[in-house]
């Protein structure tokens, strides 16, 4: 609740992904970490587990604020609202070490700029003032009150990390912090790192971050419209986006939606929806390996009908997506209702990154 009585929820998520170096002991596995330990980790984040799904390659957790995925040596946490994912790093690294993973190979922390950064509470005095005035604000908690603060916190754990801002800093942007063990090895000249060493297995991630969603589509994700998540999933067409996924979904009361999907290849997808019209937000993420992402992007935006969206694609040199990312660099036809307002590409030691931003003036459903 804001100062004027207006309801607000920050749908923009903070995304943290960590890859650990392979262990010589094949029995070592992050999935050996117990649920009670994961609950302790998430207690530092200010969220909790709602449901779980798993197969032979990946464990997926639907959380009270978004999702967590655990594979043999990869961990992903995606949380919205006023959660504090960076605060769990110390315990996470301790638990990983206890399970045979002592060295972080790659770390990625990213988020879009907050929808309502002006409601951030910057100090204890300000917080006490609001409480004395009986005003309840939605606010981010240290170390998430700004990207500079997040970078400082991460640098205290990963001294050789690097931070970036893609997009327009005074409009819409996307923040990224990376740490790569290959950077450290090269800087210290301890060993020679070949491309094969850096990219031991294919990896790619696509995120589509959508705002100003179609109100009729968003109405599906209210408990007053559908009683169950399964009904909302089917009515919206979410189940047809990547049909091979086994879906675990949840419909919040009075509104809001989260889902995880996993398949036997160890691939995942996750969707999170904040449907309120004043601050509607939908995120889609998957690591499915495709040679062309245009069809997938079109299906996602035609499902949710945003007014604007951001696409990010990470791919390493072993990935099918590594070269095909260039397809999105091409300007789309003048007949399309979508206007690309920004595009940037970055080359990292292990990965390539593509960032693209699009706006839709009349919200008429259309392909790229």
Residues annotated as catalytic (active site), given as ranges: 10, 13, 66, 80, 258, 272
State residue 336's pLDDT score.
66
Instruction: Pick the range with the lowest mean pLDDT from 27-31, 32-36, 197-201, 211-215.
Output: 197-201
Please state the rounded mean pLDDT for residues 115-137.
49
Q: Confidence band (pLDDT; 50, 70, 90) for 135? A: very low
Q: Are 92 and 109 in contact (CB under 8 A)?
A: no
Task: Report the DSSP pairing between strands 162-167 and 173-180.
Answer: antiparallel
Structure confidence at residue 138 as a pLDDT band (50, 70, 90)? low
What confidence tier does 328 reach under pLDDT thresholds 50, 70, 90? Answer: low
Q: What is the mean pLDDT of the chain?
A: 86
Of 193 and 73, the structure prediction assigns the larger pLDDT to 73
pLDDT tens-digit readout, 2-16: 455 567 888 799 999
| Candidate from 58-62, 286-290, 338-342 with smallest mean pLDDT | 338-342
The mean pLDDT value for 130-157 works out to 76
pLDDT digits (tens, 9 = 90+) for 82-98: 899 999 999 999 999 99
Determine the pLDDT at residue 365.
54
Q: What pLDDT sits at residue 329?
A: 58
Pick from 96-100, 164-168, 323-327: least confident? 323-327
Q: Which of 61-70, 118-127, 235-244, 309-318 has the lowest mean pLDDT?
A: 118-127
């Amino acid at each position: 609740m804001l100062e004027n009585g207006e309801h607000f929820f920050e749908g923009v998520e903070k995304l943290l992904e960590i890859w650990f170096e392979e262990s010589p002991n094949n029995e070592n596995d992050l999935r050996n970490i117990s649920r009670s330990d994961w609950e302790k980790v998430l207690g530092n984040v200010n969220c909790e587990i709602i449901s779980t799904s798993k197969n032979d390659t990946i464990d997926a957790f639907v959380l009270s604020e978004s999702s967590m995925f655990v594979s043999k040596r990869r961990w992903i946490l995606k949380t919205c609202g006023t959660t504090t994912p960076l605060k769990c790093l110390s315990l996470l690294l301790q638990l990983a070490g206890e399970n045979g993973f002592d060295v972080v190979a790659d770390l990625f922390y990213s988020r879009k700029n907050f929808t309502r950064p002006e409601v951030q509470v910057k100090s204890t005095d300000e917080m006490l003032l609001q409480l004395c005035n009986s005003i309840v604000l939605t606010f981010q908690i240290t170390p998430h009150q700004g990207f500079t603060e997040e970078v400082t916190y991460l640098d205290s754990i990963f001294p050789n990390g690097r931070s970036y801002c893609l997009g327009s800093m005074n409009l819409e942007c996307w923040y990224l912090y990376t740490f790569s063990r290959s950077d450290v090895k090269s800087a210290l000249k301890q060993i020679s790192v070949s491309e094969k060493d850096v990219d031991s297995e294919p990896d790619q991630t696509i995120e589509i971050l959508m705002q100003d969603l179609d109100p009729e589509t968003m109405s599906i994700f209210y408990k007053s419209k559908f009683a169950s998540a399964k009904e909302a999933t089917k009515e919206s067409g979410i189940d047809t986006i990547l049909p091979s996924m086994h879906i675990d979904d949840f419909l919040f009361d009075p509104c809001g939606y989260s889902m995880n999907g996993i398949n036997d290849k160890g691939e995942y997808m996750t969707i999170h929806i904040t449907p309120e019209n004043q601050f509607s937000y939908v995120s889609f993420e998957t690591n499915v390996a495709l040679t062309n992402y245009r069809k997938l992007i079109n299906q996602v935006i035609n499902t949710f009908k945003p007014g604007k969206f951001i696409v990010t694609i990470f791919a390493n040199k072993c990935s099918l997506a590594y070269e095909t990312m260039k397809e999105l660099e091409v300007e789309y036809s003048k007949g399309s209702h979508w206007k690309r307002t920004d595009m940037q590409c970055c080359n990292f030691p292990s990965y390539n990154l593509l960032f693209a931003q699009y706006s839709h003036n009349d919200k008429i459903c259309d392909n790229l």
